[in-house]
Amino acid sequence: MSELTFTVNQVVDLALGFPPPDKDVRDWLLQSNTKMEAFTCAGAFLCALFVILLHYLQQIDAKLAAIGVSADFNSLAAKFRLFMTKDQTFSYQGPPRRQFYDDILQLARQVSYNFDPWYRSERNTSTATSGIISWHIPETAIGKG
């Protein structure tokens, strides 16, 4: 069984280290002023992550070809790692990885407006529901290559 692990690098801009930070993701996750906003941002991010990830994995060979990479192996995880590290330097993430997270954040912004978390302690606890999280993902958000 293959295992796919996502690492979001949240180091500060001036810190030295490798790999470099995913700045936009860090900023998205740290923008909250309340627990409710933090929960909504994190939930919307995770929802968008899995939707966009599935979309990218279904098209991984085309995504690699579009960035001029030929993958001579069958492992989906290895292909995705190659995609995510293309043109990465000590200081910056490569364009494919930045585009991947840009797509996630674009969908997360759309999802966050409709995100109805089961955790409502900062709103009105008497309106808490059965724990179902619901959202609507526009088809246009996942229909693009």
Does the pLDDT at position 80 exceed 50? yes
Q: Does 65 fall in a domain?
A: yes
Q: Does 4 fall in a domain?
A: no
**pLDDT on residue 116:** 56
Q: Does 41 fall in a domain?
A: yes
Domain count, the chain: 1
**pLDDT on residue 124:** 42
Q: Does 133 fall in a domain?
A: yes
CA distance 100 to 52: 8
59: domain range? 23-142
- Region of residue 106 (left: phi > 0; alpha: psi -120 to 50; beta: else): alpha
**pLDDT on residue 122:** 45
Q: Does 10 fall in a domain?
A: no
**pLDDT on residue 101:** 97
Q: pTM for the whole thing?
A: 0.73
Q: Does 7 fall in a domain?
A: no
CA distance 26 to 31: 9
Q: Does 8 fall in a domain?
A: no
Please write the tens of the pLDDT for every residue from 3-34.
656 565 555 555 567 788 899 999 999 998 98
Q: Does 105 fall in a domain?
A: yes
